Structures are given as structure tokens and as C-alpha cells.
Structure 1
């Protein structure tokens, strides 16, 4: 064992020291087009862990990079040394009583911070497009901004305090007087030098003015030198130098933000102009509006950007008819009241009056319309990525120009892209700040193409710096991408000042070397990430990492991004004739066995990739002939399989009654769960008068009965509610032999699963009189599969959807006090039917508890039995979340999928059941007996 690894294992638990080839590659991949494979990934959960990593790195002369979510685009979150992965121990949140400040750990996702601030009408200032996945550590370390925050509300401007660990392992808490006093005693030399640098810089009139000028527009090129002119106290200077330092000066272990107001009233307008110059003239007029009339955001889209999204549903038809010189501005206004919002809308009309537009300006206050506009704007980058040729990389560069020069700069940039042959490129950006992003595709597998990229980047830098004195990086951070050009933008005097700062904080060069300060003129052309063709269903992946917060296996084994990265590497090795090595063996468990296949990743993916589809395909290829035969027999004799499963449950309960659940779990490898359901049974058809409705009891409810003795079977409960509402349930003929095929599909048996779906379709068609009678199913995953299978031929309702639409108007409900725990499973989330579920539940109960930090439960059909650690990991925050919101406990839990409910019950001790049980209890003629 290398000394570095040996030293780390002395201070960190084994599961926090990752050395296998698969995860070093997968965990070391960020959203940039660079790749370095770390020697070791060290998961840090505390400041002691971080100090141990720094000590080991220094003693072994090995670089260390602190990594949060890895959504960074410029190569600043990778390492060929130690990758210190920030763990959940740093996902801390503390809100001031008046919500004016929030103290958060670097492991908190920015979007989650805002979700918690929303009830207080507040948010954090930075609003990067990646905020749903990016973590606070990266947001602050890159001084990320976004569409609305501009330069006034970024991390630098809204910083209230921080706690930082330096390369020597020392800590400074700028909000703690005792910590400041101790640091002044122990690091007097460092603070003295900062004081001297600040005084020298402020006394150098030319340099000080140069710094102020550079930060009047967005700028994340190099260090935050404005700290030297904005502050005199060396503690303040140190704190603000950390912002935007990309982990090269220290590790911020906690950050306190001044929160900003989140205005409740919003309106957006998508305004089309005949040309770029007209659009930019509108921006120039909007920029100087007084504060009470100021717009919140102005996004510019050039004609190629509009082409990339013009076929998105809901967009105005005129977008497809625009001339080739056209452009658009997406303008948003926000206010604290409806009247103030109208004043701002009127101010926009007044400001733009006289500028030619393709059609009159029309603002919308409809949330769905506004959300669609912004989704389309955010979809421009991935739209190019999705259309790129397989094997190429999608690049997004990030520059800023003085706003008065924006039109000329945009036209020059378009011309430069065409000159170098990037005809697919698009330009969009935060026009109010002069901040432009340009997106293009690049083949890094061809030396001639790399040379083209090099020549293009040289010309871009000359354009931005020499012609317009702009910023080479406005909000994405310098990283490795622009490190060779920092001196070109800033000049030698300022660049030398940055070098002095780096040496002062990190004399041994341990912290993220090669980032921000890099004297290698070709650094931006080295360590380029390969993007080989792997599987057509995931080749469009741009490795942004937006999927990761939703994935139930993330940080247990692999996330969707990491699965795709790994499959690409395995494909590359296969194409090169290389042996897959241990990666192939490890991927079987980490990539395939522990993927829930829930598809939630597709809801966050900018190009809609469902990595579960990849998993199902690869599982199918892995199956041997014997396994295929068994699965095929299951599909052909499903009634017998169901009977055998129920018998197994009966025997299991008999054995556990003698040996106990603990021993039973050990003997079954974890498949036996706490409060394992009793054997289920098929319901008998209720022959009553009423409006006909076809009810298909899914196999989950037929095999797995209730968890509590004496409770009714699911099929009986559903029928009781239907009858009570005046419906006459019709069960499909031979329903006990039928299944939608979901269980075989999840194992990769696509053809056999399709046969099962077809058989069920025939039975449902017959029972529903070819679709005349509505069809209801009682498990969301099965409903979702058949809704997709039968789309356009037969309408299928999940039970909660039918209950919302058809049963609520007919039932008289007595609301219960609760609290009742709600789990919205992944099928409901993907279908967008979660609002109906919440409305249905609200009609039944007064207090609903939805714990934070829970996405998919990870049960994944049978995954909860086969790899129970996936279910436990996915629900690791559930128990604490329930207790936080309902300290006295919940009366029960509800969901809409029987297997999900089994895992939820096992992990919490709360009895989770179908929402049908609650609806039945609340609709009884007599007093409700409760959950």
C-alpha cells in the first residue's frame, strides 16, 4: 500500500478512502472537458477529516483538490493527487431568527438552501443555472453568479462570514472573536503580509483603478483582487480572497450569507428583435433604470440559439419564422406587490419604446408560461450538446464585455466562430451584465481539431482583452481553461500580485495546483477528456452532474453521470482491444445491481437521458441462458410464480416466528425486512350496481399483503372506495395470471416484458369495452408502464389520479388531524401527477409531513430485496426528517406503490400503505377509526 493511502487509512474509515479504478475514474469526473484521475478519493465528513487529508498530502508531497458537486466547467474540480470529496457531514444549515442570514456548510446543494429559505421570502444571492445540483462550496469557491444576481448579489458581495482551513490545517472563523484572536497570534506573518499587500495596492493608483475597473463587470478570471482595495482589515481581505479562489488558497468549511429578498410577484416576456444591434440597444436602455423600476434579468439569445430550441412545445410559432439576423431578449421583472410589478412592466415598455421589435412586447404573469420561457433559455446549452456528433465534446465559454459595446462584441464573436468553422455555435447570456456564453462542439480526439481549438481560443482572448478589455471568465471560474491567459487579461503587475497571494497561502503548492495560476502556456490543451461512443441512449450525456442529487445510489456506489462515464471508459477499452480490468467486475455491482432504474435522473437531465434505460439494456446483456429461461418461465406462468411467492412469504413468517427477524434477515442476505408483509391474495369481484370501472389489481398488492395482521387487502380496500363512490368495479378476466411486465423489464428482459404487457393490454381492452370504460390500476410504477404502452389507445389511471378526478366529487370525507407521512414515489414524480396526490391527501388529513432529503426510496421493484443496502441508503435521512417535522410521530405513512411501502415501513417503523387506505377511512359513513 502506498504511504499516502496508508496514512489516510489511519485517520479515515475504510469506506471513506476510495482506491479502486472504477470509482477513482467516476468520482474524478466533473462537468468540464478535462480529465485527471486521482490517486485516491478521500471522502471528508468533518474538519478533522479535512485536516488529516491536508497533513497526508503535505507529508507525501501530493496535491489535493477539494470537490463539492463537480458541476464546474473549467476543470477546477479534478486532481491527479488526492480528491477530497465533501461529504454529507458538511451539509449543515442554520438560519438566523429573522432569516437575514443563513450559515451553511459547503456540502449543501444551493437549490436546497433556497427551498428552505422560500417560506421566509428569502434566497441566497448567487443563482447559477446549476443551482439544483451545485453545492455551496463550489458556488462560493467559484464566485458563481447567474441570471439575476449580477455583480451585486454574488458570494463576494453577500458574504457575512466564513470558517476556513488553510493548507497547514489551521482554522479561522471570521464570526468568532476568539478564533480571530488566536489566528492573529498564530498567523501574524500571513496577516501582516496581507495588510502590506492591501496598503501597497491601494497606494498604487493605477493598479487600484485597474482592479476596480475589472470588477465593474462580471469577472472570475484570477483571484478576487478587489478584496485588496475594498477592505483594509486583513481578516476581511483574507475572507474575500477565498471567494473565487477555487480551492487554491484554502478550504471553506462553512459560509454565512446575507440572504436577499425573493419577490413573490414575477412576470416574463420573450421579445424578438430583427437583429442583434436592436436587442443590445434595448439592453443599454434597460441597464440604468432606477432601483425601484429595475428589471431582474435580461437574457440575450442569438438566432442560432433560437434555432436550437424553436421546436420546443409551447413557444410562439413566430420563432420559426424569424430572419437569420434576429435575436431575442428574455426579460424578467419581479416585485413585492402586483402594483409594483405593473409599474416595472410599464417601465420596460417606456425604456424600449422606439426600438424595432418583431412583434409588440407582451409580459406574462402565468407561472407555467414564465417557467417554460426560462426552461427553454436554460435548454440552449444542452440542446447543442444533444445534437453534437458522437465522440465530440460540447464546450461552453464564458466572457463579459462592457455593456455599451455588447452589440459590436456579439457580432465580432459570431464572425470569429464562423471564421474558425464552428457553424453550429450559439450565443446567449446575461445581457444586463454584458456576460455572454457561447456554445460549440469540439473533437478532442483529432490533433488537427485540437489545433483549430487552440487557434480559436487565442483569437477569442485577443478579441475580449485587446479590443474590448473584457473578462475571459465572467462566472464559470478560471480553472485550467483560462489559467494560461490570466496575465494576458490582467497584465504582469496584477498577475504577479496573484502569484504572491498564492505563495503566501500555499507555499508548498499543495492546494489544487494548475488552477488559476499556471505558467504552462498549453495547460488548456492538455489532459483533455475523451468522449468515445458507448451506447446510443447515453451518448448525448454532457456529464454536467445535474442528475446526481436525485439518484438514490449516489454516494453509495455510482450516480447516473458516473455510470455513463464508466461505460464510456469500458467502451473505449473495448474499442482499443484493452482488457476491462477490475472496472468491468466492479461495474456489475456498482453500475448495474445498485441502480434503482427509477428514471428520476431524466427529470433533471438537460437532454432527458434516463440512465435506467442503460442499466436495463446492460442487465439484459449480462443474463445467461439459465437466467433467461427462468425469467421467461415467470412471464409465461405468472400465476404459478405469484403462488410460489406467497408461499415463500408464508414460510418466511413461520421461520421468523421461531428464529426471529434478525436471524431471518441474516439467513436471507438482507432480503427479509422488518415488518415484512403477510402473504397477499387476489380480491374477489364486487358485483354491485353503479357506473362501471375496470380495476386491475397489480401483482405487488396480490403477492404482498398488509404489514399488520387484521388489515384489509389492498384490492378489497380499492374496491370498497370505488363502490362507496357509486362505481361498479370490473376485474379483467384471468387477472391473477396477468402482470404489466415491469418486473422483467427491470431485469433487462425487454421482449418478454413486452409480451406480458401485450397480454395485459388484450385483457384490459376486453374488460373496458375497447376503452369505453375507464381503467384503474393500484401501483404507480405499473400504471406508468401501461400508460406509456397504451398511449393513444386506452386511457389508464393510477388510483390516486382517478381518486382525485372522479372519487373526490362523490365522497363525503371526514378529515383526520394526522400527521401523516407522504412519500411521492418516482413514477408519480416522473408523470407529473404529484400535485393530484397532494391534493387528494390534503382532502383527507390536516397535517401532511414530507421529509427533506428523500427522492426515490431505492426499492426499485425487487432491488430492496436483492440489494437492501440501496433502500437503506436512499432512505438514510427519512427517519430524522420525519422526527424533525413530526416529533410526536406520524399516525401512518402513505404512498402509491406496494414495494416502495415495504421499504419505507422497514426503514422507519411507520406503517406505510396505499393512499387508498386513508381515503377509505376518511370516507366511511361512521366516525373514522383513523389511519
Structure 2
């Protein structure tokens, strides 16, 4: 397609469509891949607002010959949601539940509705949609229809196809039809084709439950009701575009019980499945001990409840049948456990422990993206299925195949249906590894076919497996697929390259063509081999960042929750950065969309990133966009003039240090900036939003207060091993020292000899977040001179400001990796709560006890960096022990250092605050304490809600 033609198509779309039409390089990069291994750059992305918009876009695409790929959340791991022409994103606007009939147990939905949103609407009626893939809190129903998604409860409720009643669709010729049972005549020639191929369809298709590969033509058989809707489910957008769906709902099971069964290995666990299925469970899931170990390393021991002995487990859910009570369910669960063929069994009633077990399974899709040794593991063969009675033997042969090829991966999956998920460390980082990877996948395909299995059990074939279908199906079956395609889409207009006339499985791979981007003067990327390219390719696209995980304590991704735009989500930014590292060395000459570090596309992508660091922890693959943003800014601006805010906010400790260095100057400055018109002028001149308030400078530096206090303290010093260093960061030193002063009181009450270094030291945080990494390194090197000797002596170092404490725990080693003092200081740094809740006694023969906070209502805003780097569990435990009633907020406050102060960010900053902080403060009573260790969090609450916050140390010292 010529440039002029592309321009014309875009112009036609903008004239015909009310929704967004975007052909920018940034947008095309964001949609160039899904959760698969493939990079297929679209020409334009369209987000229709309604059915009329979608029909108009499809009409333009047919008239201009631009192929169409429908897309929901983009969580497809097989490459079925990427295409070379127009991508239709239904998740942006067409995402509502249109109707729900509790009596008929049906719902009518738009294709972009998120599955968990449908569940939330149905739950008050005691109903739910049966299939529930692990990505259900971001996966859309349209995507589930495209792939025939299943999830753990398909054992009881079936696949998406089994729960779909009618579809509102448009085929490749522009025909709009309502597909359902008995509607074959809606497509001319389809009835005749089915009648002529009854024998082939009956013998080759629908042989077992998870045979999802190819077209599920068995639903068109007379004995199956000639059901066109069910056949179209799983056709991956190659036959029709779904505009809406009527789906069946099922009752929510009451208080289901989980039976955990331990086995010596995964094949042994699989051997037990047929006997368990006789007890009609709701779900039978398998997890490998190595996956559990990965969860433990990633989330801590507390995230993994006790499991029976074993190296592989089955999690089996048993629900109440009609007329049963809880005792009946427990009795059936015990009977099932006895049938499991193992003495290692635990019956877990509904509750927190059962939920934690299911979270291990749900996180598998992301955590399986790296092997236990930390090597990237890729999709492409994560979805094979065999009849359950043959699963154990298949797994033994598959593990032998992996061993022969020196391939590793974490096994888990829907054992009750014979469906296995595994991501493999195929050598896809270089072009040389493509051939061996293809050979392994071909051997794996032959193995599955020999067991009568299916290459896809619920994710669809896509670009990953369509070309392998000749190894599973006879030529006459493939010919039949082609004839069906020609009836619906004779011009090959819909999602070309998938299922019929597929692209080779090695075509369009993303990773092999991304050149290394080795660390230079910025971050070391120690866990990624010193390679930024490897780091940004941590993102596998599973899209957890698109979900609102605040209910589970997650913080990612605050700007996306405010805008709902792929541009502002961790995955979208990672995709743009993947495009950047692909083209930065060539200036885009290799066909990449982005050719330079200072590309406007990159600037747009990173603009609303709050550098909250939440993705570094909440993302199961550890995709740390905050660090990548700093590195990109460092490379883009090194040796060049920077934005004003980089010099002002990005070097705030320098200016606050100057203002507070002279006694009395801070008081005068605060008085002047308290004049609102003058403050607005200063804010605007500095590139800040004039709606903001200026910060106030400390009229007495914390270190000056400490020296005065120490001079008047005649008490003897404590023993050497009772010392603790209280580190005065720049925020505590020059802006707000109340938390530091209270920390001294609390630590002394706990029996510590508090040492405050004579010289304050800055961690360079503001330099880091603005990508001024040379300046950050200078400050960190100076900090090592101050704190290094204490760390070498084994003295704990307590941080006051959580973002600065986090910088020492994470950024310090990455920026100064060759200085051994970096690791010593990082190991020595503690939060106040971590020190006070440490298991060892803190006083002479006794443990410190917190003051009673019984009856005190606390709204707590954990700082994002605190959550992401240190974790807030110690703080939560300390407050619980003290007796406080704590409402713990999840999500960013929205200010995020310099972000919310900058021009162009105010509205997003406020919208982020509305996610959790502002509603909680509005609902809080006047006596409720707002607890926020972060200076930014306290500032945001005071600016937007007029609510003053306190540091944990102030709360413990009784200073509220």
C-alpha cells in the first residue's frame, strides 16, 4: 500500500468513524504485537464507539482492500490479535453489558466487555459466566469468543463455545447476521457444504473437549443443532467480526472447597486425573513445584500457603450441588481426596488460604515468562491438549523431548481437560536460534498429534500454530477449512495469515530482530545481562497492567486506570521501547517505526508514566518502565538542553539546600511564595502547573536540629551493636523534618543509640526520575562516603522518606555496580517498620512494644516505591499489633514526585488521585489519621483535599 493510499484510507476512516482513528508511529508500535512472539505492524488502529462506527470502519476496509484484525485486550499468546492492515480495538469503548436476564440466565454484551466486569454485574443475581481464564480481569469477551477461551472451570461449565447462545456478526463480504442454533442458511452454501462433509466432520473434529485447533465444524452437525454461533467461536476473527453476543450464565457455586493433592512429579499428578473426574469437580488444575518456588521468590513466603508434600500438585475444586450444605461439600471433598491416589492431601474450605492457592495458579501466565534460572521463556507452545486419560504419558514424553532439546519451562494448566500451559526458553534472542526453535515446535506438534491431541486447547492457533495444522489434520480436513473460509471471507480480508493460508511460524518473530542495547553510562541492568533490549523484552504482553488490581493491593498502572488508553499502560510503553531498541542503532532503516532516543513517539509514550515503580513488582515479569524511562531520558538528553522542570524539580535538593542553608532565608522565601499571584508566576515560569501550590522549605534543617539536640544530650552512648543510623534524605533535611524528628524519639524509645551522620547525603532520586544519571551517580558516590563505613560495620541504616529508601535498596546497585559499598549499603538499609518488627530483640533482654493505637482510625497511603521495592507488610503488621483500624489504600496518590507538578500532568494527577486517595479522604471522619510516609503523598492530599498527613514515626511517637 502506498503512502498516499494509507493517507486516503485514514482520511476516509476519520470522516466515517466517531471513535479514534490513529495511524501514528507510536500507536502502531503499541498494537504491533499482543501477548505472543510476533511483531506485525498495522497501518491504522481504530477504536469504534458503537456498532455503527464498527460497521463504517469495516465498510472502509472492504472498499479499500485493507485487511482487518479485531482485538480486545490484546492478551492473545498465539498472535491472533495482530495484523498488517486495520486493527479494531473494541476494548476502548464497546465494553458494556447491555442486558442481563436473571430468570433466563443470559446476558447480552458488547465484544469489548472485560470478563470480570460481566462477572461483577451477574454476581448480585447469584450468576456468573462459566469459563474464567486467568486473564479474566482484563480479557474481553470478544477475545474469548475469538479463541474459544476456557479457564479452570471449563471442567464443569465448558468452553466459551458451550456458553454462547447468539452472535451478532459481520462476515468478510459485509453480510450482517445473527448466528445461533439452526442458522446455517444465513450463509449461502454452508448447509450444502456441511451435508457433503458429514463423515469428515464427525471423524476428524470434536474428538475430545479441548480440541480447539482449526474450525470447530462439529457444532454444525445436525445432532449438535446446526449451531453456527458455537462454530464461529474459536474462529479467531478469520470468518466474522463480532459486534455483540448473547451468552448463558450459570449459578455461582456456594462456598467451594479446594482439595490440594501432592505427587512426586507432574506426570504422576496427571495419572490421577481420570479417577478425580468421576467425582464431578468444578476444576482440576495442575501446578509444578518450581512454579510455586518462583511465586515464593517473586512475592515472598507469605504468598504461598502450606501445600501437601510433593513436587507437583493438583488443585481440585468441589462445589455444592443442589440441596447440599457445607458439610455435604466437605464430605464429597474428602471422598475425592481419598480417590486421588496419594497420602499427601489437604482439604481447604473457602477462604483466604483457598484464594491464595488460586492466585498461584492465576499468576502462572506471567511468572512462567521466565524459567527458574531467570532466562526468558516464550509462548508458542503453551496451550497443547490431549485427552485427559492420556495426559500422564504425554507429559513424560514431552518432558523427555524438552530434556533432549535442552529446553526448560514451568508446567501448569487445566489437567482436568488435558490442557497444558508452558512457556519455553527457546533460543529466540538471536536469528540463529530461530531454526532450532522451529524444529523443536515441529517435534512437539508431532508428539501431540500422536496422542490424538490438539495444538491449541483454548488460545487458538494464530500465527504460532496455524502452519503446523498439516501435522494434525489430513489434507481433506484442511481443504474443508479453506472452503469454509471462502464462504465467509472469499477475499481473505479478515485476519489473514491465520488458520487458512497461514504465515510460517517463524515469520514475523519480534525478539530475534532486536539488537542488543548494552549498558553504557546509565543503569547496569544486572538481571538482564547488561542489555536494555533484554530488559524491555521482559514484557510478554499478558496485560496484567490493564487490570484494576487495587482490590488485591496492586498499584499498577495508575495513568492507565485514569485514561484507559494503551499508550499509558506498562505494556504499551514496553512495546514502544521494544520498537525503539530495534531501530535506535539503525535510525529506523531496518523498518522499525522508531529510530532515535529523542523520538516524539517515545516522549509521548513515557509522558504520563509516573515513575511509580509499581510495574517492577506488580508485573509478573518485572517489566520496570520507571527504570527504562530514566535510561531513555538519560540517553536522549545527555549533552543536550533539557526541559526546565529537569533543572528545577529534577534538581530540587540542590535548590532546597541553597534556600535552607542560610538561617532565615527559608522563612522569607515561604512568605513570598505564599502570595498566590507570585506563586503562580513562579510555577508557570518553572514549567509547572499554576494550579499547584509551592512547597514550603524547612525553616530549620533536620541536621541542625539534630546537632542542637545532641549537644544538649548528656546521656551515655549505648553499646556498639545497639547503634542505628538515621539517614537524613534531602526531603527530610530541607522540606519536612517532622518524620525524622519523630523517628529519633521512637528509635530511642526502642532502645537504640541513634546516630545521625554529621554530613547529610542525597540519594539523587530526583536526578534519577528525570534521567540525569550522571548527576545521580555523583550524589550516590558521595552518599557511599557518608553511609558506607556504617554499613561495613554492620550498623542498620534507617530511611525516612520511602522513595529515597527505595533508591538505596534498588537504584544504588544498578547505578554503581562496581563499588562493593553499594551492595553493603543496600543490604543495611531498612524502613522504620522493618527495623521495629525484626525478629531479634531490640532492647536489653526485651522486645520493643508499640504504643497502643486501639480505636484509632487510619487511612494509610503506602508510597508507590515503598510498595514496589520494600513492601508494606512490615508497616501493616506493626499497625495491626498496635491495634489501629487501618484502611490501606492501593494505587498511587497521583503526585509522584515531579510528575503531578509539571505542566500538562495536572488533570491526570488528579484523576489518579481519584482512583483511591481522594474518595477515601472524603469518606474519612475528622478524627481519622491520614498516614503517608511519602512527602509527595502528603503534599497531594494537602493540595487536593486540604488534609494533612503524618509519617509513621509521628504516629508511633504520639505526634498526631
TM-score (norm 2): 0.73
Aligned partner of 2:768 in structure 1 is: 745
Aligned partner of 1:473 in structure 2 is: 456
**For residues 692-722 of structure 1, what are the alpha-carbon distances to aligned partners after superposition, in whole Å with 9 as ceiling and x for unaligned?**
9997776547766xxxxxxxx8828984997
Check whether the contact 1:122–1:260 (CA below 8 A) recurs between aligned residues.
Answer: yes
Is there any run of 5+ residues in structure 1 with no aligned partner, and where?
175-179, 705-712, 926-931
Check whether the contact 1:158–1:259 (CA below 8 A) recurs between aligned residues.
Answer: no
Correspondence 1:433-582 to 2 at 5 A: 433-443=417-427, 449-465=433-449, 467-486=450-469, 489=472, 491=474, 495=478, 498-499=481-482, 501-516=484-499, 518-520=500-502, 523-531=504-512, 532=514, 533-534=516-517, 536=525, 537=528, 539=534, 541-545=537-541, 546=543, 548-549=545-546, 550-554=556-560, 555=565, 557=567, 559-574=569-584, 581=595
Aligned partner of 2:738 in structure 1 is: 715
Correspondence 1:779-790 to 2 at 5 A: 779-785=801-807
d(CA) in 1 for partners of 2:254, 2:159: 17
Report how many residues are paired.
Answer: 862
The one of 225, 243, 247 equivalent to 2:237 is 247
- 1:286 correspondence with 2:255: no
Check whether the contact 2:863–2:933 (CA below 8 A) recurs between aligned residues.
Answer: yes
**For residues 501-556 of structure 1, what are the alpha-carbon distances to aligned partners after superposition, in whole Å with 9 as ceiling and x for unaligned?**
5444445543222223x225x53232222343335535163532235322345537
Aligned partner of 2:550 in structure 1 is: none
Aligned partner of 1:709 in structure 2 is: none
Aligned partner of 2:690 in structure 1 is: 672
Please report how far the alpha carbon of residue 812 of structure 1 lies from its aligned counterpart in structure 2 after TM superposition.
Answer: 5.2
Aligned partner of 1:405 in structure 2 is: 390
2:317 counterpart SS class: strand
Cα gap change, 1:164 to 1:775, in 2 (>3 Å): same
Please report how far the alpha carbon of residue 111 of structure 1 lies from its aligned counterpart in structure 2 after TM superposition.
Answer: 5.2
Cα gap change, 1:917 to 1:781, in 2 (>3 Å): closer
Cα gap change, 1:316 to 1:583, in 2 (>3 Å): closer
Aligned partner of 2:627 in structure 1 is: 613
The one of 593, 601, 608 equivalent to 2:615 is 601
Cα gap change, 1:815 to 1:300, in 2 (>3 Å): closer
TM-score (norm 1): 0.75
Cα gap change, 1:259 to 1:630, in 2 (>3 Å): same
- 1:350 correspondence with 2:338: yes
Aligned partner of 2:186 in structure 1 is: 193
Check whether the contact 1:295–1:344 (CA below 8 A) recurs between aligned residues.
Answer: no
Please report how far the alpha carbon of residue 475 of structure 1 lies from its aligned counterpart in structure 2 after TM superposition.
Answer: 1.1
Cα gap change, 1:542 to 1:765, in 2 (>3 Å): closer
Is there any run of 5+ residues in structure 2 with no aligned partner, and where?
519-524, 547-555, 813-824, 839-846
Which stretch of structure 1 is more off in the superposition, 135-144 or 617-626?
A: 617-626
Please report how far the alpha carbon of residue 80 of structure 1 lies from its aligned counterpart in structure 2 after TM superposition.
Answer: 1.0
Cα gap change, 1:914 to 1:306, in 2 (>3 Å): closer
1:134 counterpart SS class: coil
Check whether the contact 1:220–1:477 (CA below 8 A) recurs between aligned residues.
Answer: yes
Check whether the contact 2:261–2:340 (CA below 8 A) recurs between aligned residues.
Answer: no
d(CA) in 2 for partners of 1:673, 1:134: 38
Cα gap change, 1:623 to 1:578, in 2 (>3 Å): closer
Aligned partner of 1:898 in structure 2 is: 935
Correspondence 1:698-777 to 2 at 5 A: 699-700=730-731, 715=738, 719=742, 739-748=762-771, 749=773, 750-755=776-781, 757-758=783-784, 761=787, 770-771=795-796, 775=798, 777=800
Check whether the contact 2:467–2:505 (CA below 8 A) recurs between aligned residues.
Answer: yes
**For residues 191-248 of structure 1, what are the alpha-carbon distances to aligned partners after superposition, in whole Å with 9 as ceiling and x for unaligned?**
633598469748976456447743x3213212343442489888xx454344323233
Aligned partner of 1:66 in structure 2 is: 70
- 1:4 correspondence with 2:9: yes
Which stretch of structure 1 is more off in the superposition, 744-753 or 683-692?
A: 683-692
**For residues 41-99 of structure 1, what are the alpha-carbon distances to aligned partners after superposition, in whole Å with 9 as ceiling and x for unaligned?**
23334434433422321221101212222221111111111122335323435795979
Correspondence 1:764-913 to 2 at 5 A: 770-771=795-796, 775=798, 777=800, 779-785=801-807, 792-793=827-828, 795-797=830-832, 809-811=851-853, 813=855, 823-830=861-868, 831-833=870-872, 855-866=891-902, 868-869=904-905, 872-873=907-908, 876=911, 879=914, 895-903=932-940, 909-913=944-948
d(CA) in 2 for partners of 1:638, 1:882: 27
d(CA) in 2 for partners of 1:504, 1:87: 28
d(CA) in 2 for partners of 1:43, 1:801: 52
d(CA) in 2 for partners of 1:173, 1:664: 62
d(CA) in 2 for partners of 1:589, 1:862: 16
Check whether the contact 1:76–1:246 (CA below 8 A) recurs between aligned residues.
Answer: yes
Cα gap change, 1:135 to 1:718, in 2 (>3 Å): farther
Cα gap change, 1:470 to 1:149, in 2 (>3 Å): same
Cα gap change, 1:90 to 1:231, in 2 (>3 Å): farther
